[in-house]
A and B are shown apart, each in its own frame.
Chain A
Amino acid sequence: MKAKYTIALSGLNAIDNPGPGVAVARGLKEAKSFDVRLIGLTYESLEPGIYMHDLFDKVYHIPYPTAGTEVLKARIQYINQKENLDLIIPNFDAELYSFMKLEDDLSSMNIKTFLPTFDQFEERHKVNLPDFGEKYAIDVPKSKAIFDSSELYKLGMEYTFPMVIKGKFYDAYIAFNIEQAENYFNKLSGKWGLPIVIQEFVRGDEYNVTGLGDGDGNTIAAVPMRKQYITDKGKAWGGISIANEEMIELTKHFIKETKWRGGFELELMKAQDGTYYLIEINPRMPAWIYLAVGVGQNIPEALVNLAFGKEVKPYTNFDVGKMFVRYAYDMIVNIDEFEQISSKGEL
C-alpha cells in the first residue's frame, strides 16, 4: 500500500515570472511511489495556484520573510494543527533562509524538509559566486557586490559595458552605459535590497540544468534544458530537453564537490569559445521543473522520498528533445473565494 503524505509548498504565483509551486505540485500529483494531499502556502491573494483546486486541497497565507521566523513559526504551527503536515517544500529563494532556520522547530513538529545547508546556501549566493567558482574549479563570470550606486563610477577598467546588473534575489538587467547601470541599480535595490551584483556580460547561449543532490555528493537527477522562447523578463516560456554531456558532468561535479542537498537549478552560459560559465545557482527547483517530470525524472517525487529517508535510485536517463510550452489561462473565480483567502487567510 502506498504512503499518503500531506505536503505544504509555496511558490503558487504562476504569473509571467512564475514561482515553481504549481509545477512542483503537478510532479507530486503524478508521483507513483506515494499519494499526496497538497497544502498551498501563499503570500498574496491573487497567486493563481490558490484557485487551482485540482492541485491544492487547502491554501493558507503565510507571512513575508521580513516578518521574522517567529511569526512564520507560529503560522506553521497553526497550519500544522489543522493539516498535520508531513513535509514542507519552500520554493522561493527569499524564504529559504527562514525555513532553514526553522528546520529544528519543524522537525519537533514532525514536519520534514529537504533543504541545502546554511553553508551551501550562502556560498552559492550570487554575491559569493567568484569565491565559489575558485573553490570548486568552476568557470564563473567576474562579478562584484556593491552597496552604493557611486561604486559604479569606480569600477574602472575592471568591468566594461555591457555589464549585467543583478538583484540580490531576483531580476537582472544588461546595462550598456553608466546611466542605465545607475537606473537598474536603483530599481533593483528598491525592490530586493542591497547588495547589487555587477557581473561581467558573457556573450553566448543560455542553458539551464535542474537537478537533485542527496546531500552525500550523489546526483539523483539532472536534466539540461535550452530556453527556446524567452520573455522580456528573461524567463523561459518554452524550452527543450537536451543531451549535453558537458553540462551533466558539470552538474555532477557541482553536486559531488558541494554535497548539495535538495533541488536546484544551474544557469549556464556557453561562451563563443565553448566554455560553460556558471552564471547563477538557484537553491530550489525551477519553475520549469515539470519538464524534468515530463522527460522521465520526477524530481519533486524523488525529493520527497529523500526527505523521508527512502532509498532513491539515481535517474540515469531522460527523453531528449521534449519541449515545454507555457501558456496563460484565465480561470473564473467566484468573489467569495477571493474574499475568503483575503479576509481569513485560508481557502
Chain B
Amino acid sequence: MKINKNIAVSETGFVFNPASGEAFTVNSSGTELLNLIIKGVSYQKISNIFLEKYDTSQTTFDQDYHDFVDMLNQYNLVTISKEKE
C-alpha cells in the first residue's frame, strides 16, 4: 500500500489531497499511523510499535488498522496493491 502522490500530511493531522482539493483531519494516533505508512514501514512493524506504545490488543489493532486503511482507500488517498500486505 502506498500513499498517493502529493498527499500532504501536516504535524497537526491535516491531510490535503491536491488533486481533488479534499481535506481531512485525523487524530494524533491516526497522524502517527499515517506517517508510518508514508515512510513505508511494514504492517508488522507498525503493529509492534502500536502494541508497545498503547494499551491495546492485537485484535483491536488489526481491526482499527484495516478500518483506517479502508477509509484512506475510500477517499482515494492510498493505492493498495493486489498482494496482501
| Chain A residues engaging chain B, CB cutoff 8 angstroms | 205, 207, 225-226, 228, 239-245, 320-321
**Are B22 and A226 in contact (CB-based, < 8 A)?**
yes
Query: Please, how many angstroms separate the alpha-carbon atoms of A240 and B6 in the complex?
Result: 16
Q: How far is the CB of A324 from chain B (nearest CB, A)?
A: 12
Q: How far is the CB of B24 from chain A (nearest CB, A)?
A: 13
**Are B18 and A205 in contact (CB-based, < 8 A)?**
no
Query: Please, how many angstroms separate the alpha-carbon atoms of A240 and B67 in the complex?
Result: 28
Q: Which residue of B lies closest to A247 (CB)?
A: B19
**Are A242 and B19 in contact (CB-based, < 8 A)?**
yes
**Are B20 and A226 in contact (CB-based, < 8 A)?**
yes
Q: Counting CB contacts under 8 A, is B16 at the interface?
A: yes
Interface range, B side: under 10
| Chain B residues engaging chain A, CB cutoff 8 angstroms | 6, 8, 16, 18-23
Main secondary structure, interface of A, reads: strand
Query: Please, how many angstroms separate the alpha-carbon atoms of A239 and B23 in the complex?
Result: 12
Q: Which residue of B lies closest to A227 (CB)?
A: B21
**What are 25 A-B contacts defined by CB distance under 8 Å?**
A205-B20, A207-B21, A225-B21, A226-B20, A226-B21, A226-B22, A228-B21, A239-B21, A240-B21, A240-B23, A241-B21, A242-B18, A242-B19, A242-B20, A242-B21, A243-B6, A243-B18, A243-B19, A244-B19, A244-B20, A245-B19, A320-B18, A321-B8, A321-B16, A321-B18
Query: Please, how many angstroms separate the alpha-carbon atoms of A218 and B19 in the complex?
Result: 23
Q: Which residue of A lies closest to B22 (CB)?
A: A226
Query: Please, how many angstroms separate the alpha-carbon atoms of A242 and B21 in the complex?
Result: 5
Query: Please, how many angstroms separate the alpha-carbon atoms of A159 and B22 in the complex?
Result: 31
- A244 contact set on B, CB distance < 8 A: 19-20
Q: How far is the CB of B8 from chain A (nearest CB, A)?
A: 7
Q: Which residue of B lies closest to A225 (CB)?
A: B21
Q: How far is the CB of A60 from chain B (nearest CB, A)?
A: 39
| A-B complex: 5 closest residue pairs judged by Cβ atoms | A226-B21, A242-B21, A243-B18, A240-B21, A320-B18
- B18 contact set on A, CB distance < 8 A: 242-243, 320-321
- B19 contact set on A, CB distance < 8 A: 242-245
